[in-house]
Amino acid sequence: MAYEMRLERIFNASQEVVFDALIDPEHHAELYAPEGWRLVESEMELRVGGSWTMLVEDPDGERYPITYHFTDIDRPNRLRFTMRMTESGRTIESVLDITFEEQNGRTLFTLVQGGFETEEERDSYESGAPGFLERFQAVVRARAARPQIPGNTPEVIVRRIIDANLYMVIATADGEGRPWASPVYFAPADYREFFWVSSPDANHSRNIGTRREIGVVIFDSSVPIGTGQGVYLSAAAELVEGGEVERGIEVFSRRSLEHGGVAWTSADVKPGGPIRLYKATASEYSILAKDGRPDHRIPADVMRG
């Protein structure tokens, strides 16, 4: 005889918000590591036949590998996958069927997990259900509160990552094509312009003087393995001069102060000085598709709204 567990919760959010909150790698550490536990790794290949592997660590330092295999993905209506977990030398296997049902603007979330061989296995998982639902509620509430752009959401993701991070990596090349990558603290203006200050003698500054075209990546390096997302930009970079300096340094100074840095003025980046103001103007934006295909990116039309 096999045993099953059933969970239900109504969320005050759309099906899309609830579905994405469950599987978005941004939330894995919060959702799947109870208090005192740690998510060590999480790698998801979101496609039918794809796998999702996690490694979690309990408060005593014991680690538990978990592997899921997706059998049905119908966003935002249903997810089905199998689960295999090793715990204390024994293997637990089960099947999960999750539905997201629209109910007058809200979403009924139903999770049925079956295939447990014993009541003890079922009860062990069921004991953690209230804590999971409370964490899930908090994630859904926060995600639903974000500004939403109609249609797909790459634009929302791009803006969120830009807002949340302090450093970007700029990839430049010299006149002979030799590459050079540099992290710089940046200040964005309308998600199109990105200002930073550097020595004019730095390699990347010299490269920009020769070749304006650059690549930019913005990402959070502190998230668990396999959960990261990044913004990729194609941009044209330049030394800011003349009447543009006053506006650009005001943007940079304002963000510097917000993050506990110092105030900056045009006198700090004047011609002939040791530090100058630079700007990258983005022309293309993209994010990772996170669908298992190497370097598969989704374009984002950030400037449309």
Closest CA to 8 of 142, 120, 130: 130
Kindly report, residue by residue over 24-45, the tens digit of the pLDDT: 888 888 888 888 889 898 888 8
Omega before residue 294 within 30° of 0, cis:
no
> pLDDT confidence of 292, banded at 50, 70, 90?
low
Closest CA to 94 of 71, 122, 64: 122
- Report the predicted TM-score, pTM, of the whole model to 2 decimal places: 0.54
CB atoms within 10 A of CB 89: 5
Which architecture does CATH list for 157-304? Answer: Roll (2.30)
- Tell me how long the chain is: 305
* Matching residue, tokens 């509160």: 145
CA distance 125 to 121: 7
One-letter-per-residue 3-state SS of 123-174 = HHHHHCHHHHHHHHHHHHHHHHCCCCCCCCCHHHHHHHHHHHCCEEEEEEEC
Kindly report, residue by residue over 139-181, the tens digit of the pLDDT: 999 888 876 544 446 888 898 899 989 999 999 999 999 999 9
- CATH code matching the domain that covers 3-145, chosen among 3.40.50.300, 3.20.20.70, 3.30.530.20, 2.40.10.10: 3.30.530.20
CA distance 212 to 113: 55
Kindly report, residue by residue over 219-270, the tens digit of the pLDDT: 988 777 767 789 999 999 999 999 999 999 999 999 999 899 999 999 999 9
Helices then strands, counting H and E runs in the chain, come out as 7, 15
* Domains of the chain, residue spans: 3-145, 157-304
